[in-house]
Amino acid sequence: MPNFTSPTTHRDRLQALYDLSLELAALRDLNEVLNTALQHCLALTESEFGFIGLTTDNHKHLDIVAIHGFHPQGKFFENTHLIPLRPNIFARTVLENRPTRSDDVTSDPHRVGQPAGHPPVGTFMGVPLRIRQLPIGMIGVANRPAKYQDDHEHLLMTYAAQVAIAIQNAQLNEQLTQAKIDLEHKVAQRTYELNEAKEALAQKAEQLKRLLDETMTVQERERQRISHDLHDGLNQLIVGAMLELKAGRDRLQSSNNGQANLHKVDIALQSVGNILHQVESEIRQIIFDLRPPALDTLGLGPTLRRYAEHYAAHIGSQCYVRIFGTPQRLPPHDEIGIYRILQEALHNIGEHAHAQTINISMHFQPHSFSLEVSDDGCGFDQSVAMQGHDYHFGLISMRERAESLGGKITIQTAPNCGTRVLVCLTHHS
Ligand SMILES: Nc1ncnc2c1ncn2[C@@H]1O[C@H](COP(=O)(O)OP(=O)(O)OP(=O)(O)O)[C@@H](O)[C@H]1O
Ligand SMILES: [Mg+2]
């Protein structure tokens, strides 16, 4: 550092100023700029202490951002660093945008006193920090053993111009660094979100693929079941009916005792009639399973109630069905979807839950519908069930179905705590 404690000649001063400006221009960090600049100012003006203040955004205060030459105690700095911009000895420098000097602060008419803990101030000089002629703050120096001279003022004004630029550069640098950090943070966040979405998508695609396979298997299974039902149920019944008919006809042909045989034929025809009744009810059951006709005629609420009560009786569980709100028709696609979800939920209860009681409630609201199916059965661990190693598709297909209707399904369960399936749909009626 050049020796500028006594820069006697004009040339010496210029050289010192030049050296200091170079040193300052090399700094990037705002705190370093402020502290180095202030140190230089004290040296250039042979002052005991000094400060740099910057005007706040609303131009109502001066924020003291650096002090040198005395060491405040306790919270002095925190409590006093914001100073209202009023025309006192030093703030005038900013308000009037010009250098100010006081040879004896204690008797200066602009004196307003100083905060407790501040060392006594004798001589004072302030110069504005300007960017494009407008003040952004000030440098204040104090307690030169002798008065501040025009030379000091001129020197400090010249140096302050460099300081203002260095401060502005450091501030821009800070903003740039912060913007870079923010940007990096946003990029990292976005990358993370994208990866999450990618993973979710891959998972979904895998589930869909499995669902497609399963859909075809299920279709095949259903066809088999229908053909099985037709064979074991209807075919057997029809064969039985034909045998009864044949027996009746044989008896008629070999009849020599008309009255007695007529009675037997009547019995045979009666049993044919019974069998045909069974055929008719079997057919109704098969059709009902394929597409519940009651949905079209009775509507959603009563159809779900009827199916649930029927199914619960079949598996030996108690079933309570409650309907809230004003039942109304939903689009056919939604109704059949909800019906299938209920079927799957009940099948799961029948197959896995060992429940004593099933509670079903439906809520009809003007723009939404919800179905809740809960059982007091064994419950299960969802994380295990959804891993789907053994290709269980009921839960997945319930979810897919609800989502394809634009709705949401929630399943609450835990081992030994029963299971609650909640489906919510919104619609525009
Ligand atoms: N209400 C329930 N109570 C107890 N366990 C259940 C219930 N619902 C589902 N689970 C458990 O979750 C598993 C997955 O059910 P999911 O319906 O997906 O498949 P699944 O019923 O085993 O086979 P399927 O593909 O034929 O439906 C079941 O194997 C069962 O362990
Ligand atoms: Mg199932």
Could you read off the pLDDT of 370-392 as tens digits, one per residue?
A: 999 999 999 999 887 766 556 67
Of the ligands numbered here, which is closest to the C-alpha atom of 396? 1
Write down the H helix ranges in 291-411: 293-298, 300-315, 332-348, 382-387, 394-404
Dig out the tokens for 102 from the structure: 């006081």
Give a yes or no: residue 292 inside a domain: no
Of the ligands numbered here, which is closest to the C-alpha atom of 412? 1
Q: What is the pLDDT of residue 3?
A: 42
Give a yes or no: residue 196 inside a domain: no
Of the ligands numbered here, which is closest to the C-alpha atom of 395? 1
Q: Which atom of ligand 1 is nearest to the CA of 391?
A: 25
339 CA to centre of ligand 2 in angstroms: 15
C-beta neighbour count of 228 within 10 angstroms:
10
Does residue 405 contact residue 330 with C-beta atoms inside 8 Å? no
d(CA 29, CA 27): 6
Same domain? 175 vs 109: yes
The CA-atom distances, in angstroms, between 17 and each of 170, 182, 183, 228, 356 are 20, 38, 39, 104, 94
Nearest alpha carbon, ligand 1 atom 23: 392
Same domain? 350 vs 392: yes
d(CA 350, CA 118): 85
Same domain? 275 vs 313: no
CA dihedral over 268, 272, 275, 277, signed as positive or negative: negative
Same domain? 215 vs 129: no
Phi, psi (degrees; rounded to nearest 5) at 402:
-60, -45
Model confidence at 5, pLDDT cuts 50, 70, 90, reads very low
Give a yes or no: residue 2 inside a domain: no
Give a yes or no: residue 235 inside a domain: yes
Same domain? 279 vs 304: no
Give the range of the structural domain holding residue 102, as residue numbers without chain letter: 10-179
Residue 361 has pLDDT above 80, yes or no: yes
Give a yes or no: residue 115 inside a domain: yes
Does residue 50 contact residue 68 with C-beta atoms inside 8 Å? yes
Give a yes or no: residue 251 inside a domain: yes
Give a yes or no: residue 191 inside a domain: no
Q: Which atom of ligand 1 is nearest to the CA of 411?
A: 8
From 259, 287, 315, the end of a domain falls on 287
Q: What is the pLDDT of residue 293?
A: 66
Ligand 1 pocket member 346 (CB < 6 A): no
Same domain? 127 vs 253: no
d(CA 243, CA 250): 10
Q: What is the pLDDT of residue 25?
A: 85
Query: Per-residue pLDDT tens for 400-429?
Result: 889 888 899 999 999 999 999 999 999 765
Of the ligands numbered here, which is closest to the C-alpha atom of 389? 1
Same domain? 224 vs 318: no
From 268, 287, 306, the end of a domain falls on 287
Same domain? 16 vs 163: yes
Ligand 1 pocket member 380 (CB < 6 A): yes
d(CA 95, CA 350): 85
Ligand 1 pocket member 411 (CB < 6 A): no
Q: Which atom of ligand 1 is nearest to the CA of 355?
A: 3
391 CA to centre of ligand 1 in angstroms: 10
Residue 9 has pLDDT above 80, yes or no: no
25 CA to centre of ligand 1 in angstroms: 73
Q: What is the pLDDT of residue 2?
A: 43
Give a yes or no: residue 201 inside a domain: no
DSSP state of 105: G
Ligand 1 pocket member 395 (CB < 6 A): yes
Does residue 124 contact residue 141 with C-beta atoms inside 8 Å? yes
395 CA to centre of ligand 1 in angstroms: 7
Same domain? 324 vs 417: yes
Query: Per-residue pLDDT tens for 74-123?
Result: 787 777 888 888 888 888 899 999 999 999 888 877 777 777 778 888 99
231 CA to centre of ligand 2 in angstroms: 26
Of the ligands numbered here, which is closest to the C-alpha atom of 346? 1
Same domain? 67 vs 173: yes
Same domain? 244 vs 269: yes
From 287, 305, 322, the end of a domain falls on 287
Ligand 1 pocket member 373 (CB < 6 A): no
Residue 350 sits in a domain whose CATH number is: 3.30.565.10
Same domain? 49 vs 175: yes
**Which residues are registered as beta bridge partners of 320?**
359
DSSP state of 146: S
Residue 46 sits in a domain whose CATH number is: 3.30.450.40
> Which of 322 and 18 is assigned the larger pLDDT?
322
Measured CA angle at 288 (ends 283, 289), to 5 deg: 100
258 CA to centre of ligand 2 in angstroms: 59
Does residue 354 contact residue 377 with C-beta atoms inside 8 Å? yes
d(CA 216, CA 336): 19
Pocket test for ligand 1, best of 215, 354, 392 (most atoms within 8 A of CB): 392
DSSP state of 106: G
Nearest alpha carbon, ligand 1 atom 17: 394
Query: Per-residue pLDDT tens for 153-165?
Result: 999 999 999 999 9
Provide the domain count of the chain: 3
